[in-house]
């Protein structure tokens, strides 16, 4: 497809996904089981994508960049996720100082209502496939230009972040989207971002399932130590009060995590370069962060296609407006 048509088509696709999901926000789906709500939410994203690929007659594997990766670089993605975790925790804590955590109840409902494998599949595997195919696959690659990947990375990250439609998730999802875009450039394969997405969500889901077991174990240890049930309950009340931190405490937490976040980011950058080297794409990654020669600037100008258009702006605007409305309604309650 012609570059301008690809950008326009992807922008219309994004707007269609947004409109469908905004309409779904006004439907009363409270009677459905939690797993059905999650499946429906993911279906409302992936179905328009599949229709778009069929209508435009694009090669599925090419448009999402599903390619082989160096085996050792796949293993390096595991420590990479945990090096980036402090940064995402820091950003999440900062955003929670000014917004509401909307997914905590959903996560808790899943962990208490279904087996671990089912919860992991719904909260980690399914989003890793659906959201990566959509945002790092179709959208990023439709916007992508070899001479300058940055606009595609940034605008696909904006779409990814805003699509969450709540202020808390928009903040760290935007940063995560940029990081995922860089990882995609380092590997040249969407498999890398699918794996990173799965590990990131999978870790949170696993901890949620482990927490009740850890609490039960700690209670047993405290009882064996001779502590009374009243004293144990008092300790639990203190823990719960600490968990429901206010804005000031969240800002303090973000400040505490700032140094680990910076250190983790530096180490993660080195690891991403190593991953790019193993996939023979280090020259591409290096070119993204170095000053361009006059020849490169000329090539970028010739390859430049305007990404910002009315469809993309309306889509992002609707998402942000919806996020603000939901936040206001939650605070009024």
pLDDT attached to residue 112: 77
Q: Where residue 231 falls among pLDDT bands split at 50, 70, 90?
A: very low
Q: Where residue 280 falls among pLDDT bands split at 50, 70, 90?
A: very high
CA angle (149, 78, 215) in 5-degree steps: 130
Indicate the burial class of 143 (C-beta count within 10 angstroms; 0-12, 13-18, 19 or more).
buried
Count of Cβ atoms closer than 10 Å to residue 321 Cβ: 13
| Structural domain contains residue 241 | no
| Structural domain contains residue 201 | yes
- Whether residue 220 has pLDDT greater than 90: no
- Whether residue 208 has pLDDT greater than 90: no
Q: Provide the domain count of the chain.
A: 1
What whole-number percentage of the chain has pLDDT above 70?
87
Task: For residue 117, give its domain range.
Answer: 3-216+247-332
| Structural domain contains residue 290 | yes
| Structural domain contains residue 98 | yes
pLDDT attached to residue 240: 45
| Structural domain contains residue 197 | yes
pLDDT attached to residue 330: 78
The string of pLDDT tens digits covering residues 288-311 is 888 877 877 777 777 778 899 999
| Structural domain contains residue 233 | no
| Structural domain contains residue 231 | no
| Structural domain contains residue 7 | yes
With 0.85 as the threshold, say if the pTM is over it: yes
CA distance 7 to 308: 9
């Amino acid at each position: 497809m012609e570059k301008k048509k690809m950008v326009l088509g992807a922008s219309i696709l994004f707007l269609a996904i947004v409109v469908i999901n905004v309409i779904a926000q006004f439907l009363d789906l409270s009677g459905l089981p939690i797993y059905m709500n999650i499946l429906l939410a993911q279906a409302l994203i992936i179905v328009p994508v599949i229709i778009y690929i069929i209508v435009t007659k694009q090669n599925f594997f090419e448009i999402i960049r599903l390619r082989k990766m160096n085996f050792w670089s796949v293993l390096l993605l595991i420590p990479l996720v945990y090096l980036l975790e402090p940064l995402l925790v820091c950003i999440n804590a900062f955003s929670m100082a000014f917004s509401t955590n909307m997914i905590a109840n959903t996560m808790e409902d899943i962990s208490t209502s279904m087996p671990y494998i089912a919860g992991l599949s719904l909260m980690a595997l399914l989003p890793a496939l659906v959201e990566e195919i959509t945002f790092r696959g179709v959208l990023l690659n439709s916007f992508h230009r070899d001479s300058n990947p940055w606009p595609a990375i940034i605008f696909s990250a904006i779409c990814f972040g805003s699509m969450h439609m709540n202020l808390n998730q928009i903040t760290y999802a935007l940063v995560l989207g940029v990081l995922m875009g860089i990882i995609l450039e380092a590997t040249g394969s969407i498999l890398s971002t699918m794996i990173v997405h799965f590990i990131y969500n999978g870790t949170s889901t696993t901890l949620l399932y482990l927490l009740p077991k850890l609490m039960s174990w700690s209670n047993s240890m405290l009882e064996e130590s001779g502590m009374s049930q009243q004293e144990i309950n008092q300790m639990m009340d203190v823990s719960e009060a600490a968990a429901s931190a206010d804005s000031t405490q969240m800002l303090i937490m973000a400040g505490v995590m700032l140094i680990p976040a910076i250190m983790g980011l530096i180490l993660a950058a080195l690891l991403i370069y190593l991953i790019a080297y193993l996939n023979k794409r280090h020259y591409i990654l290096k070119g993204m962060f170095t000053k361009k020669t006059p020849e490169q600037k000329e090539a970028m100008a010739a390859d430049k296609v305007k990404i910002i258009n009315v469809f993309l702006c309306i889509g992002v605007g609707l998402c942000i407006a919806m996020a603000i409305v939901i936040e206001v309604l939650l605070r009024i309650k």
